[in-house]
């Protein structure tokens, strides 16, 4: 009798393992993110995907959903590309773009300091300055909601930017979401991206294919930037651990950034906001 009971228990355990393996198999799993080893570390977007796929709903509330993994879109409104003055933050007479922000009291002092580091990352060599909110009509309300996400460009009034704690409180992730708030889409969403990268559609989880759509972008006369903080990593939304984006120039080109803005990222900010005090040649000479 004890032997029979033992065999039944073993059989039940094996069945449980088999079921779990089936459910978590990337061919069947509803999760659009697969862990993998990346030489040089994950990109900021890899961390965002990991957090948003595992913990954040693609439907933020009854009227707002996520596009491209981390861009908040309100129902009835298209996520416009922010190369029009209507969705840019106002520039001051001194040439800087001052963006007011408010931090949730739910963040600890250490977490607030980390968010400020992400802001300083965007400010460095650009005309953008983040200032604590006092009375400004337009401002970013940074909250530890579910996942890492932002609206695209300035929406007018209070706009939420979510940095879930602790998953989203990495300098690169914070900088990435602030870049969305400034009006930038993902680099591989550029209208001319097919000249520079190959999208491996067969390796992408089927219900995340729309995250690789292109925008009709104004590229500001700047070159394609494989190293942009806004670029998807090579394995973004991979269903089988195989690359989903490959650079046409070389398969060894690293896509995306872990923590810092690229020089072209900084140039984009200054060109979009028409900061005339910054010379493009300065970047290439550094």
pLDDT in tens, 72-89: 998 755 545 554 456 899
Strands (E), the chain: 64-67, 71-74, 97-103, 128-132, 139-143, 148-150, 158-163, 197-199, 245-247
CB 188 within 8 A of CB 208: no
Q: In what order do the strands lie in the sheet with 148-150?
A: 64-67, 71-74, 148-150, 158-163, 139-143, 97-103, 128-132
Other CB atoms within 10 Å distance of the CB of residue 120? 14
**Residues marked as catalytic:** 177
- Is residue 68 domain-resident? yes
CA dihedral 51, 57, 63, 65 (to 10 degrees): 50
Q: Would you list which residues are annotated within the binding site for Zn(2+)?
A: 176, 180, 186
- Is residue 199 domain-resident? yes
Residue 194's domain is classified under what CATH number? Answer: 3.40.390.10
pLDDT in tens, 19-40: 333 333 333 333 444 455 444 4
Q: Would you list which residues are annotated within the binding site?
A: 176, 180, 186
- Is residue 20 domain-resident? no
For residue 261, what are the contacts with CB-CB under 8 A and spacing of at least 6? 121, 122, 124, 175, 179, 229
Range of the structural domain that residue 96 is part of: 44-75+86-273
- Is residue 26 domain-resident? no
- Is residue 15 domain-resident? no
Structural domain count, the chain = 1
Rounded Cα–Cα distance for residues 198 and 217 (Å)? 18
Pairing of the two strands 245-247 and 197-199: antiparallel
Average pLDDT, the chain: 83
pLDDT in tens, 180-228: 999 999 999 999 999 999 999 999 999 999 999 998 888 999 999 999 9
pLDDT in tens, 100-159: 999 999 999 999 999 999 999 999 999 999 999 999 999 999 999 999 999 999 999 999
Give the pLDDT of residue 144: 97
> Mapping DSSP to helix (H, G, I), strand (E, B) and coil, where does residue 23 land?
helix
Give the global pTM. Answer: 0.83
Of all residues in the chain, the percent with pLDDT exceeding 90 is 68
């Amino acid at each position: 009798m004890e032997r029979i009971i033992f065999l039944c228990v073993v059989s039940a355990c094996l069945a449980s393992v088999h079921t779990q393996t089936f459910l978590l198999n990337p061919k069947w799993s509803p999760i659009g993110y697969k862990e993998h080893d990346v030489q040089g570390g994950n990109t900021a977007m890899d961390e965002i995907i990991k957090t948003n796929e595992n913990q954040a709903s693609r439907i933020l509330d009854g009227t707002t959903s996520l596009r491209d993994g981390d861009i908040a879109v309100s129902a009835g409104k298209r996520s416009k590309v922010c190369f029009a003055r209507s969705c840019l933050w106002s520039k001051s007479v001194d040439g800087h773009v001052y963006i007011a922000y408010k931090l949730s009291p739910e963040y600890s002092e250490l977490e607030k300091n980390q968010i400020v580091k992400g802001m300083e990352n965007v400010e460095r060599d650009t005309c953008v300055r983040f200032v604590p909110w006092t009375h400004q009509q337009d401002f970013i309300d940074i909250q530890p909601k579910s996942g890492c996400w932002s609206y695209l460009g300035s929406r007018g009034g209070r706009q939420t930017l979510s940095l879930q704690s602790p998953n989203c409180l990495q300098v690169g992730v914070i900088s990435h979401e602030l870049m969305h708030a400034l009006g930038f889409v993902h680099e591989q969403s550029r209208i001319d991206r097919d000249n520079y990268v190959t999208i491996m559609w067969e390796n992408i989880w089927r219900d995340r294919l729309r995250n690789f759509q292109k925008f009709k972008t104004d590229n500001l006369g700047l070159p394609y930037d494989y190293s942009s903080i806004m670029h998807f990593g090579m394995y973004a939304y991979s269903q089988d651990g195989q690359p989903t984006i490959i650079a046409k120039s070389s398969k060894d080109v690293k896509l995306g950034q872990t923590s810092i803005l690229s020089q072209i990222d900084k140039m984009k900010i200054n060109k979009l906001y028409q900061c005339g005090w910054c010379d493009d040649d300065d970047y290439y000479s550094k």
